[in-house]
Amino acid sequence: MERNGVSVALIYGDREHFANLHFFTNFDPRFEEALLVVNLHSKPLLLVGNECLSYLPISPLWKAGELRAELYPHFSLEDQHRPTHRSLDTILREEGCASQSKVALIGSKTYPNPRHSDIPSYIVDTARDLADCINHTAWLVHAEHGLRTTLSAADIAIFEINNVKAGEAMRRMHYNLRPGITDHELMAESIEYDGTPLSCHMTCKTGPNRVSLASASGNLIERGHTWSSNVAYWGSNICRANWIAEGPQDLPLPAQDYLAVFAGPYFIAMASWLESLREGAHCGEIYDSIHQQLPHAMFHVDLNPGHHIGYDEWPSAPVYEGSSIRLASGMVLQSDVIPSHPVYFSTRMEEGYAIADQTLRNELARNHPQTWARIEARRAFLANQLNIHLHESALPLANTSGLIAPWGLSPRMVLARS
């Protein structure tokens, strides 16, 4: 703030876009919106609605007296009691928003016009009436130097166990997949949800009229159809997609060469992608490589082939066309390379990988020995069983790392590089 001449920062959060608030306070809004007001001269002020008042002790800053909190009833849900309170105009003015001051707006996204913001307009309009407002969300989410772009050893340990839990749920789903049950039944049998907060909505899609990103909707699992699902806890999103089949004979005739022309080449490309992960790797070159190996005319990879993952599933992405960003120690990437085809459907190898220099690896091994032992076991499995050799700075966080089972009804049959 001082370097940019900013007097006040407004950090917005709601149920979907909570991670910036959580980063600073460990408070993630439940049901309602919230606003963190940070100025240069006093303790930060957190504005919450009625129901979040009782949730404030989740923040160690609030418990230690380092965070002020105030009820702002208009953050409460519709038709709840809204007692007399300070107006937002009064709050912002008394917190330092004035005609000669600059205010940083921190939502979830940046825009070409730095005066645009995804924070609700009534908040932004009020702030703009008082001061000069600029979108500074990049301070947190910029793919190279955002505050949330690199993680500590403790963060990585948390993300690793959540990748483990999500990956084990996905493993159970593969082994429970069978014709004659519904997608609801498959998820109920497999997830074993323990209450860990989600980084994004969990999905399960099947049937002739499947819709991408859809929730389970009671569709029947049938041989010869396609299927995909994801399980996503904070710091993780494990996703897989394949055919409900024991082998190519169960696929529609035009798709029976799926393994040779689609799933196999994807696996080879992803093995190369995994081996490219290392401290200092050039993200533009990673982008070029994956698109050379998976031509768009066949594989239609439209999303970034590699993005950061945080407590929210996609804070930003360093891998894009022309990117000059280099992977740095502490980054955690999602192997989110999603192919699609009108005949061959899709396949997927999606989980988290941390980048860690020697210092960070030593800290993980010293302070989180069980986490480190699992990471080392995965690296050995990838090398010895799948012939995928990760750089020492690339840490696989999920037990599903590198695994693709092209046939949903043959979950023990996975791809390996010769």
* Cβ count within 10 A of residue 5: 9
- Which CATH number belongs to the domain containing residue 85 in this structure? 3.40.350.10
- Range of 61's domain? 8-141
CA dihedral for 236, 237, 242, 246, sign (positive or negative): positive
134 and 158 part of one domain: no
The tally of domains found in the chain comes to 2
Residues 112 and 203 in one domain: no
Is position 112 within any domain? yes
Length of the chain measured in residues: 418
What pLDDT is attached to residue 375? Answer: 98
Q: What is the pLDDT of residue 335?
A: 97
Among 102, 119, 141, residue at a domain's last position: 141
136 shares a domain with 242: no
Q: Are 129 and 169 in a shared domain?
A: no
Do 210 and 297 lie in a common domain? yes
Task: Let me know whether 302 and 199 are in one domain.
Answer: yes
Three-state SS at 396: strand
Nearest to 220, CA basis, from 201, 235, 239, 205: 205
Same domain for 351 and 380, yes or no, is: yes
Domain co-membership, 173 together with 56 = no
Report whether 21 contacts 28 (CB < 8 A): yes
As a whole number of angstroms, the distance between CA 306 and CA 312 comes to 15
The string of DSSP codes covering 153-201 is HHHHHHHHHHHHHHHHHHHHHHHH--TTSBHHHHHHHH-----PPBSS-
- The whole-angstrom separation of Cα 113 and Cα 135 is 9
Q: Is residue 269 part of a domain?
A: yes
Asked which of 114, 141, 168 is the last residue of a domain, the reply is: 141
What pLDDT, on the 0 to 100 scale, is given for residue 318?
Answer: 98
User: 75 with 158, same domain?
Assistant: no
Does 120 share its domain with 234?
Answer: no
Last residue of a domain, one of 108, 141, 174: 141
* CATH classification of the domain holding 175: 3.90.230.10
* H-helix or E-strand spanning residue 229: strand 226-231
pLDDT tens per residue, the chain (418 residues)? 999 999 999 999 999 999 999 999 999 999 999 999 999 999 999 999 999 999 999 999 999 999 999 999 999 999 888 887 899 999 999 999 998 899 999 999 999 999 999 999 999 999 999 999 999 999 999 999 999 999 999 999 999 999 999 999 999 999 999 999 999 999 999 999 999 999 999 999 998 878 888 899 999 999 999 999 999 999 999 999 999 999 999 999 999 999 999 999 999 999 999 999 999 999 999 999 999 999 999 999 999 999 999 999 999 999 999 999 999 999 999 999 999 999 999 999 999 999 999 999 999 999 999 999 999 999 999 999 999 999 999 999 999 999 999 999 999 999 999 9
Q: In 26-98, which ranges are E strands?
A: 34-39, 45-48, 68-71
Domain membership flag for residue 169: yes
Closest CA to 30 of 43, 15, 20, 44: 15
Same domain assignment for residues 91 and 200: no
Determine, yes or no, domain membership for 21.
Answer: yes
The tokens for 396 are: 């696989």
Query: Is 413 among the domain residues?
Result: no
Handedness of CA 114, 118, 121, 126 (dihedral sign): negative
Residue 187 CB burial class (10 angstroms; 0-12, 13-18, ≥19): buried
Structure tokens, 71: 């009820």
Decide: helix, strand or coil at residue 239.
strand
Q: Judge whether 416 lies within some domain.
A: no
Rounded to whole angstroms, the Cα distance separating 335 from 307 reads 7
Per DSSP, 279 falls in state T
C-alpha 98: how far from chain center: 36
> Cα–Cα distance between 96 and 101 in angstroms, integer?
8
Give the span between the Cα atoms of 257 and 91, in whole angstroms: 64
In a domain, 417, yes or no: no
Residues 22 and 83 reside in one and the same domain:
yes
Residue 229 lies in a domain: yes
